[in-house]
Amino acid sequence: MVPMLDQAGLPIAVFDSGVGGLTVLHELLVSLPGEDYVYFGDTARLPYGDRPAEELREFAIQIADHLLAGGAKLLVVACNSASAAALDAVRSHLARRGAGVDVIGVLGPAAQTAVAASRSGRIGLLATPATVASGAYERIVSLADPHVHLESVACPGLASIIEAGFPFDEHLVSTVRRYCAPLRAAEVDTVILGCTHFPLIAPMIQRVLGRGVTLVTSGPGVARSVERALAARSLLNPRRGEGSYRFACTGDPIAFQALGTRFLQMPLGEVAPVSLQVVARAAA
């Protein structure tokens, strides 16, 4: 067994379908600067938002195994679609392996923050089709407060537009207006940005919805959950200075680095290319 002090020195592993999860990593870097991090972007298989749940579970378990094989003390599934479809499956898989690693998703922290923030009990959700179809946010919100109404809007294509570099043109603006229209009609006072790509266009969404609507992202809540989970296991890194962070992706590392810098708002450095067996099967 690895000594507890050595385990505390292991990195926190974070993964997403692409660069969107870097918005979650940004919050972790700010909230827990002494920790080391490894980020994995499955860019060869994005977008996740239109894939079936069974496929997302396969991807998530494969990535979890890959990251833990490299050494990690906690796993963050920084993707709403993967969290909705695969969080329980990943936890069960790692428990059977005896990994002893906490797995934290993005849905619970965001939903709980939104319920606490809403004054009217009318909350909106902007998310991928896979996340909306799963009904996961509805279940979590209902458990937090059964009297809250959640107005869910699937946003096909929006994450892909952002992943491609999100040019701020009229097409993007009209797309955002179209997806926000049902939320305006429902008179929500709080909106969950249920895709980790969406915080990058939060100012545009805020303008369309109006300044009286509170936007909720998952990053701050995830950071709090990670800190509590590590503290409960005495795994917080005692380092006083800044930790390290490194990156890997299954697609083009140069493209990942160029776009990822805008999401992370910090230098990325080198991005390691990773080839997974399932990628080869999907491309065959």
Give the residue numbers annotated as catalytic, written as ranges: 79, 195
DSSP 3-state of 167: coil
Q: Which of 271, 241, 274, 212 is nearest to 22 (CA)?
A: 271
Residue 118 backbone phi and psi in degrees, to 5: -75, 135
Residue with tokens 């991928």: 128
Contact between 213 and 188 (Cβ < 8 Å): yes
What single letter denotes the amino acid at residue 162?
I
CA distance 83 to 203: 25
CA distance 284 to 282: 6
CA distance 250 to 161: 19
CA distance 192 to 125: 5
**DSSP codes, 105-149:** ESHHHHHHHHHHH-SSSEEEEEE-HHHHHHTHHHHHHHHH-TT-E
